[in-house]
Amino acid sequence: MRDELTLLLHDLERELRLQDRWQPGEPPAAALRSTEPFAVDVLDFDQWLQWILLPRMHELLLRQLPLPDNCAMQPMAEEFFAADDSQGQRIVALLAAIDALLTQHHGGIN
């Protein structure tokens, strides 16, 4: 399960880069400490993916820590990418796969 998640996270990063959604400069430190879901008060959703989700998930995998057992990123992604063409839908599909994988395995260390 962890190997599959690692591949999905790499695919997500690759897709963000291919779509020119990957940003070279890190946002202000305060933005990375937001307590709002998806940091909606300070970041766009694609920024949240890059600066919060991907680093945290990679850290959990690297350190063999328990993974989240209930993810629901797909609805937020659908809302954020609603006006986009099929490119945004590829990101939605990847997040749906990540949601399903984490929810199915209930965050256990597999």
Residue ranges of the chain with per-residue pLDDT less than 50: 107-110
> What CATH code is assigned to 2-22+38-105?
1.20.1440.40
Confirm if 54 and 9 have CB atoms less than 8 A apart: yes
- Between CA 12 and CA 94 the distance in angstroms is 6
Per-domain residue ranges of the chain: 2-22+38-105
Distance set, CA 3 to CA 7, 18, 38, 58 (Å): 6, 22, 25, 11
Confirm if 109 and 64 have CB atoms less than 8 A apart: yes
Per-residue pLDDT tens over the stretch 39-52: 999 999 999 999 99
pTM for the full model?
Answer: 0.90
